[in-house]
Structure 1
Amino acid sequence: METNLFIQLGILIFSLGIFYALQTLPKKAFSKLRSKARPGAQAHHHFIKGAQFLSKARSARAKPAAVSLAKFAVDEADKALALEPRDPAAYILKAMAQTVMGHRAAALKSLDAALSPPAAKMLSDRDKGDALLKRAELQVGLNRRRRIDSAVEDLAESVRLSPDNSKAFLLLGQCYEMKGCTDDAKWAFERALEIEPTLKEAHAGLGRLFA
């Protein structure tokens, strides 16, 4: 009986430690990355460490320092993935760090892995919506014309999963605008403004449509 009690106490302490680590992640985006899967403690440790490196990279004023810290974040994400190859959170962490490094094509591949059928099932709707938004941003940034249709597909799914995400509606409106779909662009910009009335880019988008 005492042995079982000590085991249960140990599990409780471990769970509280993981909860505290999640709550103290340095960036809001990574505090939300909670997959339905339960990765091992060591993989989770690497993920937390990588998220902390990424936070420092984003805060760094000098480009070389930011790139160096982002590289450490990628290394930690790779260590987590070596232990949990299907963990989408680690792929998303890696993609964010690769973006800081300026490696957008590599970041896009990491997001493709995070959003592949085996991994994506582990993401909450909100986290999947955020990942789709980031992939669409990269697609548009890498090659607007060639990837615009893929970006629209991602964004349409993103706003379905996260209907309160003004940034996703904004980018969707901009993509529709590039495609010449005025009515769809107007709808998307207006939805963005319903969620965030002060969103300047959405106001500007509507202004362009009716200039």
Structure 2
Amino acid sequence: MLFDILLQVAIFLVLLFMFLFVHEVPQKLISKLRLLTRRSNLQARRHFVIGAQLLSQARSSSSDFRSLAERAAAEADKAIALDPKEAASHILKALALELLGFKTSALDSLDAALSPLAAKSLSDEERGDALFKRAELRAAVDGGGGAAVEDLVESVRLKGDNAKAYGLLGECYEKKGLIDEAQKAYENALRVQPDYVLARDSLTRLGF
């Protein structure tokens, strides 16, 4: 009895697929889906642009920054809902949350931005910047443990012109007691930016 029912269901599905294929329904559905996707992407970009403008205003405002940052985060959420694979919206939300003082939540947003699903939308340099920002937040939250070091090593590999990334890497190595590695990181920071005070003072303090 059960076998007969399953067989009838299978035959029905095969016939339905053949009917849809003959009448080009799948192609029409795919075309419609692509159109909807393009529209969603455009709406997502609009929310992202508005959020980025609000974040810029929040950073330059001393009195109304909290309200502006909250609105920026809300626009980022709207963009993410429409296009969760776009890393830039997750990064925008992280920056807004950081400005509001929510470092742990900002870390969560950067984790989403750097996830395999979203990181594909970033160039190598953009991914390097995002890794540096995540390392900064990790250092602020937990003092710069192994996860921060991993982010910074990958960050400077992808984008070797960030003196601050090398400087923070040197600080993290110092805290772990890896003085030789710290020295190399500070020297790389000075190679990129010869007037970088933190790196120069750190090398002097370490006796190099």
> Within 1, Cα distance between the matches of 2:42 and 2:58?
24
TM-superposed CA distance for 1:126, in Å, is 0.5
Letter in 1 for 2:207: F
The reply to whether residue 60 of structure 1 matches residue 61 of structure 2 is yes
Question: Equivalent residue of 1:40, what SS?
Answer: helix
4+ runs deviating over 4 angstroms? none
Counterpart among 146, 161, 166 of residue 158 in structure 2: 161
Q: Which residue of 1 aligns with 2:130?
A: 131
Note if contact 1:71-1:97 (Cα within 8 Å) is conserved in structure 2.
yes
Letter in 1 for 2:74: D
Letter in 1 for 2:190: L
What do the CA deviations read for 1:91-116 (whole angstroms, capped 9, x no partner)?
A: 00000000000000000000000001
Larger radius of gyration: 2
> Within 1, Cα distance between the matches of 2:78 and 2:187?
43
Structure ranking higher on relative contact order (CA contacts 8 Å, 6+ apart) = 1
> Within 2, Cα distance between the matches of 1:154 and 1:50?
26
Name structure 1 gaps, 5 residues minimum: 1-37
Correspondence list, 1:176-195, <5 A:
176-195=173-192
Question: Equivalent residue of 2:145, what SS?
Answer: helix
> Within 1, Cα distance between the matches of 2:171 and 2:148?
11
Correspondence list, 1:23-34, <5 A:
none
User: Number of residue pairs matched?
Assistant: 171
Letter in 2 for 1:119: A
Letter in 2 for 1:161: L
Question: Equivalent residue of 2:101, what SS?
Answer: coil
> Cα RMSD (Å) of the superposition?
1.6
Q: Which residue of 1 aligns with 2:169?
A: 172
Single out whichever of 39-48 and 166-175 deviates more from structure 2: 39-48
Q: Which residue of 2 aligns with 1:3?
A: none
Letter in 1 for 2:53: Q
Q: Which residue of 2 aligns with 1:8?
A: none
Q: Which residue of 1 aligns with 2:117?
A: 118
What do the CA deviations read for 1:58-97 (whole angstroms, capped 9, x no partner)?
A: 00123xx111100000000001011101110000000000
What do the CA deviations read for 1:161-190 (whole angstroms, capped 9, x no partner)?
A: 001111111110110011111110000000
TM-superposed CA distance for 1:208, in Å, is 2.0
What do the CA deviations read for 1:3-46 (whole angstroms, capped 9, x no partner)?
A: xxxxxxxxxxxxxxxxxxxxxxxxxxxxxxxxxxx971111010
Letter in 1 for 2:130: A
- Normalised to the residue count of structure 2, the TM-score between the two structures is 0.79
Correspondence list, 1:1-211, <5 A:
40-62=41-63, 65-144=64-143, 147-210=144-207
> Within 2, Cα distance between the matches of 1:102 and 1:67?
10
Give me the identity figure in percent: 53
Note if contact 1:39-1:87 (Cα within 8 Å) is conserved in structure 2.
no
TM-superposed CA distance for 1:119, in Å, is 0.7
Question: Equivalent residue of 1:61, what SS?
Answer: coil
